[in-house]
Structure 1
Amino acid sequence: MFGRKKKNAAPSYLDLISPLSGKIIPLEEVEDEAFSSKAMGEGFAVLPDLGKVTAPFDGNIAHIMEKSKHAILIEHTSGAQVLIHVGMNTVALKGEGFKAHVRSGDKVKKGQLLLEFDMETISRAGYSILTPVVVPAGQECIRSVEPLEGEAILRIHYLSE
C-alpha cells in the first residue's frame, strides 16, 4: 500500500532432512513404544546403511549424552529441537561403538558429521540400529509438524516472531 514494498518474510517452517543415510521407516513401526506411540513426539526412523549422523540443519548441539553418545538433541535458530536417538536401548553400551565429533553447546552446519557408530558392535551386542529422529513433543515454539515425501521428511512449522 502507498507504494511501499514488503520485505521478504523469513519462512516460518523448517524442512527436516534425514541426518542418516538409509531406509526411512514410519515411527509407528519402531519397537520401542515411547517412540511408536509418538509420546516422545512426531518423527520418523532410519534403518541406517552407514554409521554416521550428520547435522540436518545449521544450529547448535543443545545436548549430547556425554557418556553413552547414543543420542543428540540439535536446536535450530528458530528454537525448534530435534532428537536423534541411535538404536534401541543402546544407552546400555555406555559409549562402546560410538564416537562423538561434537559436544553440547557446539555450533554446527548442515551436513557436518556429528556422530559415528559401529553398526556391527551394536548388532553383536543384541541391540537394534533403527534410529528414531523425533521432534520432541511440548515445544512451545512449534505450531505443527507435517510429514513430507522426498528428501525432506518432515516440515516443522514454528511460531515466527
Structure 2
Amino acid sequence: MFSKWRSKKEEQRTGHIIEIAAPISGQAVPLNEVPDETFAGGHMGKGLAIEPAEGKLLAPFDGKVAHIVKSGHALILEHASGLQLLLHIGIDTVSLKGSGFQSHVATGDTVKAGQILIEFDLEAIRSAGLSAISPVIVTSMEETPPEVECLYGQVTAGSDLVLKVATQ
C-alpha cells in the first residue's frame, strides 16, 4: 500500500533523475567504442558516444552554455540542477582549427531543448581522416559522481533519450 512512497532517507540518497535527449541523430554506442583512450576509458566522465547521421548538435535540455571550445568542436552545457554535460564532436577534431564547425551559441547563452548549438560538416571531418564519433559525457567534480544509465541504439536528436542521470 505504501510502496509508492519513498522514505526521506531514500529521497536524499537518490535525489532526482535528469533525462537527457540525444544531442545528435545517429547510433548511440558505449564509450569503449570511441577510438580515444581518454573518452573510452571513462577518464572524462560517464556517458556514451553517437556516430552521427547528420551534422547538427542540438541542446538536449534547457540550460546554459558554460563553456564553448574556441575551435567550435565541443562545449559544456549546464542544466539548472548544476549537472554539466560535455558535448564533443568527433575525435581529434581540434586539429581542424574550427574549419567545418559553425557555432550558433556563445559561452553564457541560455538555450532551449532542441535548439541548434553547432552545425558541423561530417564530410570535412571524415575526409581529414578523423572519426566523427561524438562523446556525450556527464562531467562531475563531485567526490561521488552521479549514477548514469546509458540507452544505446538508433537515436533522433531532440526526441530519443540517451542518458538518465541520478543526481544527489
Q: TM-score range by the shorter chain?
A: 0.7 to 0.9
Secondary structure of the residue aligned to 1:78 is coil
Secondary structure of the residue aligned to 1:128 is coil
Unaligned 5+ runs, structure 1: 1-8
Secondary structure of the residue aligned to 2:165 is strand
Given candidates 143, 154, 165, the residue that maps to 1:156 is 165
Kept after mapping to 2: 8 A contact 1:19/1:56: yes
CA distance 1:149–1:95, change in 2 (3 Å) = closer
Given candidates 27, 41, 48, the residue that maps to 1:44 is 48
Kept after mapping to 2: 8 A contact 1:28/1:36: yes
The alpha-carbon deviation at position 16 of structure 1 amounts to: 1.2
Partner of 2:124: 121
Distance 2:151 2:29 in 1: 13
TM-score normalised according to structure 2 size: 0.83
The Cα offsets for residues 33-66 of structure 1, whole Å up to 9 and x where unpaired, read as 0111111111111110110000000000000012
Taking the TM superposition and a 5 Å limit, the aligned residue runs for 1:1-12 are 12=16
Secondary structure of the residue aligned to 1:50 is coil
Partner of 1:15: 19
Secondary structure of the residue aligned to 1:110 is coil
Kept after mapping to 1: 8 A contact 2:61/2:113: yes
Secondary structure of the residue aligned to 1:103 is coil
For 1:119, the aligned partner's letter is L
Q: How many residues matched?
A: 149
TM-score normalised according to structure 1 size: 0.86
For 2:167, the aligned partner's letter is Y
The alpha-carbon deviation at position 143 of structure 1 amounts to: 3.3
Partner of 2:146: 143
Q: How much is the aligned-residue C-alpha RMSD, in angstroms?
A: 1.8
Taking the TM superposition and a 5 Å limit, the aligned residue runs for 1:44-123 are 44-66=48-70, 68-123=71-126
Secondary structure of the residue aligned to 1:126 is coil
For 1:130, the aligned partner's letter is I
Unaligned 5+ runs, structure 2: 1-10, 154-159
Kept after mapping to 1: 8 A contact 2:149/2:164: yes
Secondary structure of the residue aligned to 2:46 is strand
The percentage of counterpart residues that share the same residue type is 46
User: Whose RCO is larger (CA < 8 A, sep 6+)?
Assistant: 2
The alpha-carbon deviation at position 140 of structure 1 amounts to: 6.0
